[in-house]
Amino acid sequence: MAEAIKIDELDIEFKDEVLGKVPAANFDLCLTCGTCTGGCAASELMDMDPRKLIRMLNLGMDDVILKSNWKWVCSMCQRCVAACPMKINIPALVFNLRAAIPREKRPKGILGSCDQHIRTGSAMGAKKEDFEFTVLDVAEEIRESHPGFEDLEVSVDREGAVMVLNQNSREPVTEPEEMGPLWKILHSVGADWTYPSVMWAGENYCMFMADNEGWKYIIEEFAYHIDNNLKSPMVVNTE
Ligand code: SF4
Ligand code: SF4
């Protein structure tokens, strides 16, 4: 059971700051109904939940919500927004709470994954040459040993494919055989697809960490490669 909110010093500056960036966040419309909290996987963790967070924000408890580490356990899934009768944008608040922390003080695991992605193209640090080698190697193994998939087509950087698919980098690095089932589905429905070699990883810890510059850089590199080199009309983000 969560503890009652205790109001000490009130300061509503942070709420105004977030509303300046996300005017449609609608925090004042909260009915305190708790529907958001009922479906939130992060509820009750660290003595916090989305309803309580909005209540604290509206009461001006800036210090408490800025200090709480709950912002790092929210998965940004948006389930609360879908469930909220007033469409209050709680993930936008969480994003701004994260962005308010100096970059070097954000959680090391997320920070390291963001930096790896910027440097190498994937949060796991796998370079594009290694990614391509693994993908083609696993595809060859499937063609040789899985009846019915002798003509399975898997490619990296095939120009003109209808669809470009990205890939969570955990699979090629730690469980490469896990990529096979999706390839088989795409093969079975006759999909015309390819992987990109530039920023090929689907995850984006820079977005999760509220690093706007890193997030923007990754997406711009990815989009530039698809538009100008692969010339594909469609992207499917698996994350
Ligand atoms: S569902 Fe919406 S209105 Fe209800 S408590 Fe949560 S944020 Fe407030
Ligand atoms: S976005 Fe965050 S607060 Fe909203 S339901 Fe998901 S985990 Fe909970």
Point out the ligand nearest to the CA of residue 41.
Answer: 2
Q: Is pLDDT above 90 for 239?
A: no
Q: Is pLDDT above 90 for 13?
A: no
Q: What is the per-residue pLDDT for 9?
A: 54
Distance CA 163, CA 109 (A): 32
Does the C-beta of 81 come closer than 6 Å to ligand 1? no
Distance 132 CA to ligand 1 centre (A): 46
Does the C-beta of 191 come closer than 6 Å to ligand 2? no
**Is residue 221 within 8 Å of 198, Cβ to Cβ?**
yes
* Domains of the chain by residue range: 13-101, 108-236
Rounded to an integer, the average pLDDT of 25-31 is: 92
Distance 94 CA to ligand 1 centre (A): 15
Q: What is the pLDDT of residues 62-97, one digit of tens each?
A: 889 999 999 999 999 999 999 999 999 999 999 999
Distance 54 CA to ligand 2 centre (A): 12
> Coil, strand, or helix at residue 163?
strand
Distance CA 154, CA 140 (A): 9
Point out the ligand nearest to the CA of residue 35.
Answer: 1
Q: Is pLDDT above 80 for 10?
A: no
Specify burial of residue 153 (Cβ count, 10 A radius: 0-12, 13-18, 19+).
Answer: middle
